[in-house]
């Protein structure tokens, strides 16, 4: 079996920045253990598999199946690998449709081109405030002694969100996540308010850690921003925001809360590798 495979840096217009995802184009569904073996082999935070479903081919079809796997397990929502998947269809396969639709575990996700960016139609997942004292050991493991302003939890994505005080320089987290025993947390978002009056004017910063999924730090996480957008929109009273995830690679996301309760996530992508996976 030969499977076309690509590496795409998402949420950046510069190679080797943003978040790399492996994208596989498959003619027919594979066995689940094979999906997982391929993702473990690629050893990136996400490997995505695009299947034809009822579409005749990848250039003319408008609807595709999409699944995402970390090196450890399948996940129900991934932003950067969705952006990367659309980049392969639009930029390499020259898909003729203005919008492609991915059928996923999180429902239908629409992606369209707009100038040099790709715009994804994603769910909005607002987090709920939490009592800091009930998880003080976990919080200390993540951010040490840095001052915390808010702690929230999103049950839909299983993400804990920690907002640092505005006096902090940037989110930092050195000791990682050995104090979570409830089984309810699969990722931790660390965030803080940005400086929108400076250039380029980021409304907020973040970092994302998901060792439970086999991803120590995800360089730029689109699904985490479905949580962050809901939180910061209320705090900043804004529906359009510019966000920066300040991992070592770094990445930029444009966010827009829509009137129908969903979220547009916009970003760029660079395809840096293409080849054939032989099994």
Domains, the chain, in order of start with CATH, read 2-123+266-278 (3.10.310.10), 128-260 (3.10.310.10)
Residue 173's pLDDT is: 42
User: How far, in whole angstroms, is CA 51 from its chain's centroid?
Assistant: 20
Give the whole-angstrom CA distance, residue 86 versus residue 92.
10
Q: What is the pLDDT of residues 41-72, one digit of tens each?
A: 999 999 999 999 877 899 999 999 999 999 99
Each residue of 113-160: pLDDT tens digit?
Answer: 999 999 999 999 999 999 999 888 888 888 888 899 999 999 999 999
CA distance linking residue 197 with residue 277, whole number of Å: 47
H/E run at residue 172:
none
Q: What confidence score (pLDDT) does residue 79 get?
A: 98
Low pLDDT (below 50) residues in the chain: 172-180
The per-residue pLDDT for 211 is 84
Between CA 174 and CA 26 the distance in angstroms is 39
- What integer pLDDT is reported at residue 183 of this predicted model? 67
Helix (H, G, I), strand (E, B), or coil: what is residue 216? Answer: strand
Q: Distance between CA 226 and CA 192 in Å, rounded?
A: 16
Q: Give this prediction's pTM.
A: 0.92
The pLDDT value given to residue 145? 85
Would you give the end-to-end CA distance of the chain in angstroms? 5
């Amino acid at each position: 079996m030969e499977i076309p495979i690509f590496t795409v840096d998402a949420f950046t217009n510069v190679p080797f920045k943003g978040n790399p995802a492996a994208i596989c184009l498959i003619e027919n569904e594979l066995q689940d253990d094979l999906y997982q073996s391929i993702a473990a082999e690629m050893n990136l935070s996400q490997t995505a598999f695009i299947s034809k479903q009822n579409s005749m081919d990848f250039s003319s079809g408008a609807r595709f199946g999409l699944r995402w796997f970390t090196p450890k397990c399948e996940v129900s929502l991934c932003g950067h690998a969705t952006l990367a998947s659309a980049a392969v269809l639009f930029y390499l396969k020259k898909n003729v449709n203005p919008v492609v639709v991915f059928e996923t575990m999180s429902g239908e996700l629409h992606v369209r081109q707009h100038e040099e960016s790709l715009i994804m139609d994603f769910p909005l997942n607002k987090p709920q405030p939490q009592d800091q004292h009930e998880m003080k050991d976990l919080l200390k493991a993540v951010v040490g002694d840095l001052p915390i302003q808010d702690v929230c939890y999103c049950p839909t994505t299983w993400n804990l969100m920690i907002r640092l005080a505005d006096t902090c320089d940037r989110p930092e987290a050195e000791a990682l996540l050995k104090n979570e025993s409830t089984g309810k947390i699969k990722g931790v978002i660390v965030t803080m308010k940005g400086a929108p009056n400076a250039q380029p004017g980021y409304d907020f910063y973040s970092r994302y850690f998901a060792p439970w999924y086999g991803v120590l730090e995800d360089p730029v996480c689109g699904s985490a921003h479905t949580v962050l957008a809901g939180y910061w929109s209320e705090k900043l009273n804004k529906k359009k925001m510019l966000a920066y995830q300040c991992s070592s690679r770094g990445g930029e996301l444009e966010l827009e809360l829509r009137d129908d309760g969903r979220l547009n996530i916009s970003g760029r992508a660079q395809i840096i590798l293409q080849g054939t996976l032989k099994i």
